[in-house]
Structure formats: structure tokens, C-alpha cells
Amino acid sequence: MDAESSVGGTGSVAAHEPDRNESDGCHGRTGVGGEEAGEIAPKLSVAAVARRLGVAPATLRTWDRRYGLGPTEHSSGRHRKYGPDDIARLELMQHALLRGASPAEAARYAHAASVRCRETEDRGDGGGPAADSGAVSCGPGSDGAVLVSGVLDSEGSATEWVDTANTGGRGLRLGGAAPAARGLGRAVLALDAPAAQRIMLESIERDGVATMRRRVLCPVLRALSELRERTGSGAEMPSLLTDSALTVLRAVIAGARAPRNPRPVLLTSPSGEAHSLDLVALAAALSGEGVGHRLFTSALPREGLEAAIRRAAPAAVLVWSEHSLFADPQLVTGLPRPRQRVRVFAGGPGWSAESLPEHVDRLDSWEEAFARLVECAPRETT
């Protein structure tokens, strides 16, 4: 992976999960030993810091050479080692990278935040932010100078985004992707599930589920698939991303407002389908629009689907299939017809329009399925 843009590795992501012995301020931070400010804290080698941050040693050397984020003290004839302040700056840089900033912008953020912390402590204000409106928090767990998806406030904006297309064959190809997608890609490369979940949740809060899926989640999933095909490795990363996305989407469903429609829509998949991410994303997107639903991620057999239709009296039924192997037209043929009309849809790439009954509409894309289901759930009239 390109040393500059790499955030992934075998270690944990310290920018989001600081050591229990670390203090919150930039300059009381001990790194590993838990020494109080004023004591001589142990210094760490390049390899030790790389393990701590979960990056390659070459990445640290690149950050030092290009952005001046190396050890500040050096004794002649001895290897350079990182002190607590040096590590704190690196954590701030890594935090910014995970939020989608370019390496150059992340380095400027780390330097600015470190200087602000030093000024704050020199005034005797402790490790907290300064009183003025441009304050930068001293810990990497904060957004600092209003760092949102890599964009700083009046200090400047992140216009140079990381191009991960040239990463020595081991990185994600996300050229042209949105900043949040690049941040998500870095979080997944680092196996940082909390950061991945936070990025997706922030995107949903800002733009909604459908936009998050299209602009943030799907580009990273495609890049991970391409990486797997190209290298034969990396099976752990799409698994972590899928699990993180499901966690976020189910949280959205759980926190949704009361539905507007008196008759829900029913969402399920054929027996044998193992992937439920698109179905759960549909449910979350519908929840965001106030559309009530009944979600069955464990595929329903024919008798289960019939019983669910009779009991829930849905306005629409969607059977989502990713693979033609499991898309059995018999599942949607001759379903019960309650007194009120039920629209039946076969959604996803697994279905063939030629094999479906006339009363079943085939929906080619996730976006089309979302739009049609919203149409089938009008507001209750009073």
C-alpha cells in the first residue's frame, strides 16, 4: 500500500481507541507507561509506534519526510524515537485521515491542533479547548477544528483527497470517491469497526440512508471486491464492513419515528440467500421516510410468506434476490390476495423478467425498489 495514504495494518487504531493509560491532553500524553506530565516518559521506536497506530513503518517515515511529523528529539549516533508529543500528533493525523482528509490536510490539522494544545496548556487552561471559537480539542477523539469528513473550518478546506489507485497492489481503488467513502475505506483497511460505523452514521444523519449507501458504502464494497479478485486476500475486510453497516442500519431502524402508513410493506428474500445487507438497507431507508415495514432477513419459505401476508395485510411485498440460483418464481406465484390489493415485487439482480408471473413487477435496482415501495405506502387519510 502507498506509504502516504495507508492507515490499515495489523495493529489497532489508536486515534479512536486510546490506551487506558493515556491522558486527554496533547502534552500530558504518556503513550505507554502512564507517567504523569513532568516525568520522563519512555520513547518508542518507529516499529513500536507503527504497531501502536496500525500502520507500516514506511508510512511513518513518509509522514516524517513529507510533513515533518517525525520524532522531535534526536541524539547523534542513536536511532530516533518518538516521544509522547510526537505520538499525539500522529494520532491526530490518523484521526483526520479516517475522517476523509488528504494526508497533506491531515498533517496541517495535526500540526495546528498540537500548537493550539501547547498554547492552551501554556495559559494554564489544562488540556481543554481554548475559549475562542476556533478552539481545537487536544485529543484525537474530538473533531478538533470542526473536522467533518476531512474538511476544516476557516483554517482551510481539504481540496486534495487521497488517491488510493496507486497502492502497490494492496490498497483500495477509490479514485473519485467522496471524502466519506475514502475515510470509510481507511477505517476498513485498519479494521477499525467503531470508526467505520461512525462515518456511516454521520453520513446518514447528513444525507440519508439512500445517499450513504450510494456514495459511501457501495464504492468501498466494490473496491474491496476488486481487491479480493486482484490479490486473493482481504476476506476479513468486507466481512467487517458488512457487519458494521448492518449495525448502523439496524440502529436507524430502531430509532425511526412512528410510520405514516397504516399498511406496512413486507421485505424478505428467497430461501438460500445469504446476504441481507441490501434488504436491511431498504428497511432503514424506508424507516427514514416514515414507511412502516415488516423485515424478514431470514428467508421465508412459501408457507411462511403466505402466513405473513395474511397476518400483516401489507400494501406491498418485495422478495429481494441477489442470485438467480435462489430466485424461484414459484415463491411469488399465487400468493394470498387479501381484500385490499397487495402489490408484489421481485427485486434484485437474481430475477429474470421472463420467468415471473404477469402480476409481479420486476425491480432491477435498489434505488427503483426504494422508490416504488415509498409510492406504495401513502399517508393515512383522516
- Using pLDDT thresholds of 50, 70 and 90, give the confidence band for residue 211: very high
Residue ranges covered by each domain of the chain: 1-149, 163-255, 258-375
User: SS3 for the chain, per residue?
Assistant: CCCCCCCCCCCCCCCCCCCCCCCCCCCCCCCCCCCCCCCCCCCECHHHHHHHHCCCHHHHHHHHHHHCCCCCCCCCCCCCCECHHHHHHHHHHHHHHHCCCCHHHHHHHHHHHHHHHHHHHHCCCCCCCCCCCCCCCCCCCCCCCCCECCECCCCCCCCCCCCCCCCCCCCCCCCCCCHHHHHHHHHHHCCCHHHHHHHHHHHHHHHCHHHHHHHHHHHHHHHHHHHHHHHCCCCHHHHHHHHHHHHHHHHHHHCCCCCCCCCCEEEECCCCCCCCHHHHHHHHHHHHCCCCEEECCCCCCHHHHHHHHHHHCCCEEEEECCCCCCCCHHHHCCCCCCCCCCEEEEECCCCCHHHCCCCEEEECCHHHHHHHHHHCCCCCCC
pLDDT at 106: 82
Q: Does position 28 have pLDDT exceeding 70, yes or no? A: no
Q: Is 1-149 a domain of CATH 1.10.1660.10?
A: yes
Mean pLDDT of the chain: 77
Top-level class of domain 163-255: mainly alpha
127-176 tens-digit pLDDT: 443 333 333 344 444 433 333 333 333 233 333 333 333 344 567 888 88
**Radius of gyration of the chain from Cα atoms?**
25
Cell output for 318: 418485495
Q: Check residues 1 and 183 and name the one with the higher pLDDT.
A: 183
> Whole-angstrom Cα distance, residue 322 to residue 274?
9
Q: Give the closest residue to 359 by CA, choosing from 344, 339, 378, 369.
A: 344
Q: Check residues 162 and 112 and name the one with the higher pLDDT.
A: 112
Q: Does position 319 have pLDDT exceeding 80, yes or no? A: yes
pLDDT at 198: 94
Q: Does position 241 have pLDDT exceeding 90, yes or no? A: yes
CATH of the domain spanning 258-375, picked from 3.40.50.300, 3.40.50.280, 3.30.1490.100, 1.10.1060.10 = 3.40.50.280
Q: Does position 105 have pLDDT exceeding 50, yes or no? A: yes
> Whole-angstrom Cα distance, residue 179 to residue 259?
32
Residues 6+ apart with CB under 8 A from 358: none
The phi and psi torsions of 31 (rounded to 5 degrees) equal 90, -70
Interior CA angle at 192 toward 190 and 198, to 5°?
130
Least confident of 96-100, 112-116, 129-133, 139-143: 129-133
pLDDT at 377: 84
Q: Which amino acid is at 100?
A: G
Chain-centroid distance of CA 79 in Å reads 37
- The strands making up 343-347's β-sheet, listed across from edge to edge, are 293-295, 265-268, 316-320, 343-347, 360-363
Report, as an integer, the average pLDDT of 100-118.
80
Q: Does position 16 have pLDDT exceeding 70, yes or no? A: no
| Cβ neighbour number for residue 365 with a 10 Å cutoff | 11
Cell output for 91: 494520532
- Using pLDDT thresholds of 50, 70 and 90, give the confidence band for residue 200: very high
**Averaging pLDDT over each range in 127-136, 173-182, 311-320, 321-330, which range is the top one?**
311-320
> Whole-angstrom Cα distance, residue 369 to residue 107?
43
> Whole-angstrom Cα distance, residue 275 to residue 241?
13
